[in-house]
Structure 1
Amino acid sequence: MSRGRSDEKATQQVSFPPVALGALRCPHCLSPFTQPGRSLKCETGHSFDLARQGYVNLLGSGVGDTKEMVAARFDFLAAGHYAPLARLVAHEAARDLRRDGLVVDAGTGTGYYLGAVLARAHASTGLGMDTSTAALRRAARAHPAIGAVVWDLWRPWPLQDQSADVIMNIFAPRNLAESHRVLRPEGTLLVVTPDSTHLAELRDHLEMLNVDADKLTRLDSSLQSQFSLTGRHDCEIELTLTPQDVHRIVHMGPNAYHVPPTALDAIQSSLTVTAAFVVSVYRREA
């Protein structure tokens, strides 16, 4: 009896959300998928196994953020440091999601923000794409309605035309042509970027990467032919970071490759810093 329940539970853990499955297409032949058992198969015979954590690797390889970077990000976000940003993202994304709609998180990482959206939009489904298998192991479990896919955002996406209500791009590469193709008419593209003042106090102590002050201007310019700006919101969060928090915030992104360990070791007490973000909301034009 107990073994039967365990087998049933294991099967449920690798079930791909139906709405997300319906939006996917085979990267080889562009055919739709079905899910017989624990794999996704297209009508021409291409098959992709679901990992036991629930994600599917359509890329055939996995690169991107390392296991250590993903663990640092997961722990930092789980502590609630960026919860105000998650609430703002969820508010903006959820109001443009139709019932039974799909939100695609391009560069989902651990699925933290996508999970926040789905917690607010209960009848919707999420599909998160990332190149990091380590991140998608977490993302697939961030919410029951998330389908997680290993994919390179610079390649044509394995998604049907006009299949998404909302596409989120949070600190990730932006493939604007694919975003336009995959969004439904007048769908929403939500982009989160760091403000030029983001973590400025921490940069006084560490040689971290700078944020381009012209980022928003360049973003709007790149989008203007296919999207129109409908809203922009600043989000500033005052944080008190312990030395362990500082270690995590450095190692959860590309700064991990630039800040020497000796500089981190020199921080022995808590620091008060300001996290500053800009949430830009665009509407897909015809």
Structure 2
Amino acid sequence: MDPRILDRLSCPVCGEPLAETAAGNARALRCPRRHTFDVARQGYVNLLTGRAPHVGDSAEMVAARAEFQAAGHYDIISTALAAAATEAVARLRATPASEETTAGVRGERSDAYPLVVDAGAGTGRYLGAVLAALPDAVGLALDVSKPALRRAARAHPRAAAALADTWQRLPLADGAAAVLLNVFAPRNGPEFHRVLDRAGTLLVVTPADEHLTELVDALRLLRVDPDKADRVTATLGGHFTPVSSTVHRAELTLTRPEIATLVGMGPSAWHTDPAALAERLAALPEPGRVSVAVRLDAYRPR
């Protein structure tokens, strides 16, 4: 693992620093108290403590997401995140350390080599896009899905990946992250606050009201909660202050197989009968127009 990333990690059990160790061909991370975490041969490290409450996205859902993203259909999200993260790092570097930043347990500012953390990273595509825009940054993808992490571990040469549950203590030192990404994923306000530099930025992407609107009725998909934006802010309100909110829109022209892939990578995949979905898909015009609308909210720690 890149030592610049390893230096920002902490043992999820006791909070002590982690170091690499090896026994034969096996690799692991270990803290001074000898809590040990295996590195999978696919490149990610297992930093779970105990059993996760769920296993995350299945291999099929992850494959669907990777295929759809690779076609560029969600590049609007990547572009928006890359621009916002670049602005966030510039702001962090312009902030005197004595005013807002937290040194963290290592005694260093997070802008020495900005760490971008993606909590609920999935395939790691958005993290990779942000790192491509920040040539001196490193990244860490966190997810509870092993199929997702197998891809995220290869998302970018300056990225690492770790199996971690967002609802548990995150395996990071205090104030370790310059930028924290959260794209269509759960949000743990207290932990996000702990691991983010005090002059850092949390970037949250959620679906806007009109996201996939053409498919919701036709395929009977889950609807976007009309109070979604307020609920997101409420879950973070005790720890973060909202600083900006933008909506990014695009219109896609998709084949039926691409629409099936899009459905398969989202939450409706867990709640839709496959046979009924196939019947509804067959009734759609081809190609079909689909609206993409996502909200990007930026927050800073209180």
In the superposition, the TM-score normalised over structure 1's length comes to: 0.90
CA contact (8 A) 1:207 1:258 kept: no
Aligned to 1:36: 21
2:181 pairs, out of 165, 168, 173, with 168
Across the two proteins, how many residue pairs are aligned to each other?
Answer: 270
Q: How does 1:203-222 map to 2 (within 5 A)?
A: 203-222=216-235
Show CA shifts across 1:102-160 (max 9, x none).
Answer: 11111000001000000110110111111001100000000011111101111111111
- Quick one: structure 1 residues 61 and 75, their matched pair in 2 at CA, closer, same or farther if it must change by over 3 Å? farther
CA contact (8 A) 1:140 1:147 kept: yes
* Stretches (4+) displaced over 6 A: none
Q: C-alpha distance in 2, partners of 1:131/1:214?
A: 27
Shift of residue 61 of structure 1?
5.4
Structure 1 residue 242 and structure 2 residue 255: aligned? Answer: yes
Aligned to 2:145: 132
Aligned to 1:53: 42
CA contact (8 A) 1:118 1:126 kept: yes
Which runs of 5 or more residues in structure 1 are unaligned?
A: 1-15
Show CA shifts across 1:207-231 (max 9, x none).
Answer: 1111111111222233333211111
Structure 1 residue 67 and structure 2 residue 59: aligned? Answer: yes
Q: C-alpha distance in 2, partners of 1:104/1:77?
A: 19
Partner of 1:160, secondary structure, is: coil
Q: How does 1:146-225 map to 2 (within 5 A)?
A: 146-225=159-238
Shift of residue 273 of structure 1?
0.9
RMSD value over aligned CA atoms? 1.5
Partner of 1:204, secondary structure, is: helix
Shift of residue 250 of structure 1?
1.0
Partner of 1:95, secondary structure, is: helix
In the superposition, the TM-score normalised over structure 2's length comes to: 0.86
Q: C-alpha distance in 1, partners of 2:156/2:36?
A: 25
Partner of 1:225, secondary structure, is: coil
Q: Give the stretch that moved more between structures: 32-41 or 185-194.
A: 32-41
Structure 1 residue 82 and structure 2 residue 74: aligned? Answer: yes
Shift of residue 93 of structure 1?
1.2
Q: How does 1:251-270 map to 2 (within 5 A)?
A: 251-266=264-279, 267-268=281-282, 269-270=286-287
